[in-house]
Amino acid sequence: MLIIFRAFCEKKKLSQTDLAMIIGRNRQYLYKIEKGKVLPVFSLFLL
The model's pTM is 0.63
Whether 16 and 2 have beta carbons less than 8 Å apart is answered as no
Q: What is the pLDDT of residue 45?
A: 53
**Distance separating alpha carbons of residues 12 and 5, to the nearest angstrom:** 11
Q: Give the tens place of pLDDT for each residue, 2-45.
A: 667 778 888 889 888 898 898 888 989 888 888 888 887 765 55
Cβ burial 12-34 (10 Å sphere, 16+ → b, else e) = eeeeeeebbeebebeeebbebbb
Q: What is the pLDDT of residue 2?
A: 60
**Distance separating alpha carbons of residues 35 and 5, to the nearest angstrom:** 12
**Amino acid (1-letter code) at residue 18:** D
Q: What is the pLDDT of residue 43?
A: 57
